[in-house]
Amino acid sequence: MLSKRIIPCLDVRDGKLTKGIKFKGNVDIGDPVEMAAFYYEQGADELVFYDITASSDARNIMIDVVRRVAETIFMPFSVGGGLRTVSDMYAVLAAGAEKVSVNSSAVQNPHIISEGARQFGSQCVVLGMDVLKVGASPATPSGYEMVIHGGRKRMGIDALAWAKEAQERGAGEICLNSIDADGTRTGYELALTRMISQAVSIPVIASGGAGVPQHLADVLTMGQADAALIASMTHYGDYTVAQIKQYLHDQGLPVRLYW
Amino acid sequence: MIAIINYEAGNLTSVQRALTHLGAASVITQDLAEIAQAERVIFPGVGAAGAAMNSLRRLGLDKALKEALASGKPVLGICLGTQIIFESSQEDLATCLGILPGQTVRFPVEHKDAGGQALKVPHMGWNKVRWQKEHPVFAGLPQEAEFYFVHSYHPAPARPADVLGLTEYGLVFASAVARGNLVAVQFHPEKSGRPGLRILQNFIAWDGKEGGHA
């Protein structure tokens, strides 16, 4: 049976981790490569790097980070943030990432999904969705709206319709982030996750809101997610990935326990 | 030297990185002489069967691969490389290499688990492989070891004797096959953490004989 994936998300700016990550042991909390190795050893199933670097100069720093991560850990990881063209995608994949994640750029230019899927295969292209609960309206019949630029700009696009369109265009996976739940540590947005997961045939990674292991159990069962993204739960040392997995295993969920 | 066959399908550098990590010299190549001289051959690949077969034939790599197999040197197929070792694929209705009898088929469109919940295609993530018999390339790996998969099609070997490992995803499919000096896996050992690296390490040490010692 396919295991449910637990995926730590690391925010990187100018080649450094942005959050003050509190770990025990000899881990340089600023170095994404060391953090990647740490999570790899802990049994994370995959990693997501989100590059919030603004300038194009600093993009080369990120490419170097990707290369060093790929030399250090032997499991899949994706890189997102600021990828606007197919050649941006190529640079990240050539440096060793398994997948690229497009978010704002895909909403503004949906062709990047189709082009990326055509050139690199659907399995490489993750659609990142930042979604705001707005209530049903003619423009947003699902009650959820797409937002971009880290949640600052509402696009008037229905989230459910966009998920389906992205799948049609060749996205191989969806990373679904609830703006409302993000950072609250009160649980994932279950209704949103279930709605999107049921509407598409590609895997859905739930993101935003995880605070305790029960939240992951909920989104992987009631929310019908295929994977769960975590950040502060493990970054601040409250839990280890292994503890979360043991909890999920005890709840009867399929997780990878041996690595 | 390990030749990683480059037929312009997908990410070959990840395989090379894993080999480098294990201290094995490798070259990503489409040079027929280089493949003929290599001690062992890895046949990887990500992408679509039709385009892959076209590239292989255009570059003469289909013959190079068959010659490598005939020479007795160890050959490892990965993912798409494994799928096109069979006679045909439902993907692009491609005629494939026919090295092993059988087909590559798609997961059903209405794919459901035992409880009736829809299963996503591609089959993406970590899943268990249940070994059907011992083999030097899989030495030291427990039955519960998991590997990273990403695929929408899977091998359906015609000869049960070729099946080395089985994986369950709504249905049970052959995730590892072997015959003689050929071993081929549907998952990605280069992306499967320690168990995956163990397979590559075993392959690096393998003499190409089924009963040989890794």
Cis before residue B122, ω within 30 degrees of 0? yes
Question: Between the CA of residue B35 and those of B12, B59, B66, B143, what are the distances in Å?
Answer: 15, 12, 11, 34
Q: At which residue do the structure tokens 């280890």 appear? A: A240
A26 pLDDT above the threshold of 90: no
Q: What is the largest CA-CA distance in chain B?
A: 53
In angstroms, rounded to a whole number, what is the distance separating the alpha carbons of residues B141 and B133? Answer: 12
Say what the pLDDT of residue B59 is: 95
For B22-65, how does the pLDDT look when each residue is reduced to its tens digit (9 = 90+)? 999 999 999 999 999 999 999 998 778 898 999 999 999 999 99
A67 to chain B, any CB pair closer than 8 A? The answer is no
For strands A227-230 and A5-13, give the pairing: parallel
- Mean pLDDT over A131-143 rounds to 95
For A56-72, how does the pLDDT look when each residue is reduced to its tens digit (9 = 90+)? 667 788 999 999 999 99
**Counting every residue, how long is chain A?**
259
The closest of A50, A45, A51 to A227, measured between CA atoms, is A45
Partner residue opposite B124 with nearest CB, options A173, A256, A259:
A173
For residue B129, the chain A residue with the least C-alpha distance is A1
- Give the type of residue at A231: A
Query: A174 — phi, psi (to 5°)?
Result: -125, 130
In terms of CATH architecture, what is B2-205? 3-Layer(aba) Sandwich (3.40)
Query: What are A205's two structure tokens?
Result: 């990674």
- A70–B14 CB contact, under 8 Å: yes
User: Is A187 in contact with A218 (CB distance < 8 Å)?
Assistant: yes
Say what the pLDDT of residue A57 is: 67
Say what the pLDDT of residue A55 is: 64
Q: Which chain B residues are within 8 Å of A94, Cβ to Cβ?
A: 13
Q: At which residue do the structure tokens 């943030």 appear? A: A81
- Mean pLDDT over A3-12 rounds to 95
- Mean pLDDT over B160-175 rounds to 96
Among A139-143, B4-8, B75-79, the minimum mean pLDDT is found in: B4-8
Query: Catalytic: A130?
Result: yes
A81-A84-A87 Cα angle (round to 5): 110
Among A13-27, A39-53, A58-72, A156-170, the minimum mean pLDDT is found in: A13-27
For residue A39, the chain B residue with the least C-alpha distance is B193
For B151-162, how does the pLDDT look when each residue is reduced to its tens digit (9 = 90+)? 999 999 999 999
Query: What are B51's two structure tokens?
Result: 């385009």
- A202–B120 CB contact, under 8 Å: yes
Say what the pLDDT of residue B117 is: 74
User: What pairs with residue B127 in β-bridges?
Assistant: B147
In angstroms, rounded to a whole number, what is the distance separating the alpha carbons of residues B19 and A31? Answer: 25
Query: What are A4's two structure tokens?
Result: 């449910």
Pick the residue of B130, B150, B167, B169 with the most A CBs within 10 A to test the interface with A by mutation.
Answer: B150
A252 to chain B, any CB pair closer than 8 A? The answer is no
Q: pTM of the prediction? A: 0.94
Say what the pLDDT of residue B212 is: 45
- List of residues 6+ apart from A217 with CB closer than 8 A: A247, A248, A251, A253
B151-B156-B162 Cα angle (round to 5): 115
Residue B113's Cβ-count burial label (10 Å; 0-12, 13-18, 19+) is: middle
Q: Which chain A residues are within 8 Å of B195, Cβ to Cβ?
A: 259
Of all residues in chain B, the percent with pLDDT exceeding 90 is 82
- Mean pLDDT over A82-110 rounds to 93
DSSP assignment of A44-58: -S-EEEEE---SSTT
**Counting every residue, how long is chain B?**
214
Sign of CA dihedral B144, B145, B150, B156: negative
A20 pLDDT above the threshold of 60: no
In angstroms, rounded to a whole number, what is the distance separating the alpha carbons of residues B112 and A150? Answer: 36
User: Is A93 in contact with A64 (CB distance < 8 Å)?
Assistant: no
For residue B167, the chain A residue with the least C-alpha distance is A1
Say what the pLDDT of residue B210 is: 80
Q: Which chain B residues are within 8 Å of A71, Cβ to Cβ?
A: 17, 20-21
In angstroms, rounded to a whole number, what is the distance separating the alpha carbons of residues A15 and A18? Answer: 9
Domain boundaries, chain B: 2-205
Of A51, A130, A158, A226, the catalytic one is: A130
- Mean pLDDT over A244-254 rounds to 97
In angstroms, rounded to a whole number, what is the distance separating the alpha carbons of residues A164 and B2? Answer: 43
User: How many beta carbons lie within 10 A of that of residue A194, not counting itself?
Assistant: 18
A224 to chain B, any CB pair closer than 8 A? The answer is yes
The closest of A88, A3, A83 to A43, measured between CA atoms, is A3
